[in-house]
A and B are shown apart, each in its own frame.
Chain A
Amino acid sequence: MMEQTAGNQVSARLMIERISVLLDGEMDRTEAATTIAALCADPALRRHWHELHRAGDALRSHEVAASDAEDFCRRVAAAIGAEPTVLAPRAAKAASGLRRYWVPGLAVAASAAAVAFIAAPLMPTSETLSTAKNSPPGQVAAVDVAAQQKPLSTIATARGLSPSFNPYLAAHRELTSNSVVPRATVYLRSSEER
């Protein structure tokens, strides 16, 4: 029991010594983070932080040390306690080392997936490509034009639709085009239209 108490006292003194080292900035980042965490969690350690700083100030300037005001610190702590907790998203992100690596990776993967999702339907199919390959230059465009000019009733029949869909297909024909930016054309305006 007594050994345990003595051990606790030694570790407590070691912690106070670490506070002394911390206020000199003579620690590596990890040890400093651990010591700061202990200080933030323990008001008794914060009392040592206060006294050790005061001792250093007293050596450099008696006047500065004489203006010490512990009551003031308590008052400010109460005022800060009444304030909404401040949060800086930048610091919160930096807090998680793991997140720092997987979040950008996930963002890149999501962007790639989005591009693939949007671009895939626009890519020429193997059928189109083989047609293009086997045709002389200029033929593909001609094929598309031919498709556009196909009678509506033929399209409706070919897709197993009732001829009553013909007005609908006529109205949306441009959306079914196989041109390079088929779905975007309806949103494009020439400068003359402005």
Chain B
Amino acid sequence: MTAPTVAPAAGWAPELRQAGEARFAEVGFPTTRHEEWRFTPVQRIAQGTFAEPVAAAADPAALAPYLFGQGSWPQVVFVNGRYDAARSSLAGLPAGVTVSSLQDAWLAGTDVVRAQLGRHATPAETPFTALNAARLHDGAFVHVPAGVALPQPVHLVYVTTAEAAGAQVMPRTLVVVGREGRAALVESYVSLAPGATYFVNPVTEVVTAEGCWVEHVRLQRESEAAYHVGFTSVDQARDSHYRSFTLAVGGAIARHDLVVRLQGTNTETLMYGLYLARGEQLVDNHTTIHHQQPACRSWEVYKGVLDGRSRGVFNGKIYVTPEAQKTDAKQTNRALLLSPDAKVDTKPQLEIFADDVKCTHGATVGYLDNVTRFYLQSRGIPAALATRMLTYAFCAEVVEEIAIEPVRAEVDRLVRERIGGLGA
């Protein structure tokens, strides 16, 4: 891991950088001896030498397919870690709403940024949040003030181009939604260089106030030779609603941690996830939900489809503190193996210290059911098509949960494409 070769802009979050630098110097990269990284070896990242990314422009035609055909959505685009003003468009935002480069907002002295950045996904969370802080590039800042509802989703686009090959990118996102605010966010990680090897290490902080409603879609579509280690922290205040959908299809090693802290009563949290792995890909999802206030509800469904010699990892933690009575938490994790050489390690982890709660979890890993496939065959559908239809159906159950229709349609298309073609 090389040190930064380009000096950061003067005054760009120096304390956070220093804290990240110090923390990473202390802990270094994890190994499989660390419980949280037991099934996810990261030597290839640790031993790699990743340069600072080269500035590049994203070809608009190449980028267009990743924008859901929604030219009117406000969007901020970062290419190889740098803000691309030409590709970003911020028209039509309601008064008081900010969508901008995080670095610009910090350097402009924006109070919300200075108060919140790095306070939720701290460098202490994981070695990779420390590294992100230490090598902070840029990223998106979204601020929705109290009482404001965004009329359209905001798209945060993190692009890597061929120029990023061999480089490391450290995107950073901060989303702050004020009391009774409403926002839909789409966070995309896309590669315009399909075979490139590079390292993306994003950290996202979502901070909600009372009564917020936040819809958050995270699409990870990196090169299949890339390393993507991401961390998302969500703080929910009382009476807030947060709904997440994460998709992971890229990365040779792809890891995402989603940590939700319920800091007020009567919240609702929905977490849906889908990953599709093939070849030698390793896709790891770690989710943690801290039920630490009474009467909060959480509902989680993660699904994975694994082909080839791919590996899946799922770890779902639900912590319920003694004061979090009347918690209602449900977690489901299902993996579908399409190949005898694919493998999944799954670990639900419930730690419950309150007595009046409803917490359930279920994990299944398996192949397609022969009887179901036979049923389709008996209706004239050939075995190979039956397999694709059933794989699609397995995914569709979570894809249907994407509430932003153009995004749902695009993920649906992507799933069909990945499972090898399926008529409309």
- Do these two chains interact? no
B interface residues (Cβ-Cβ under 8 A, vs A):
none
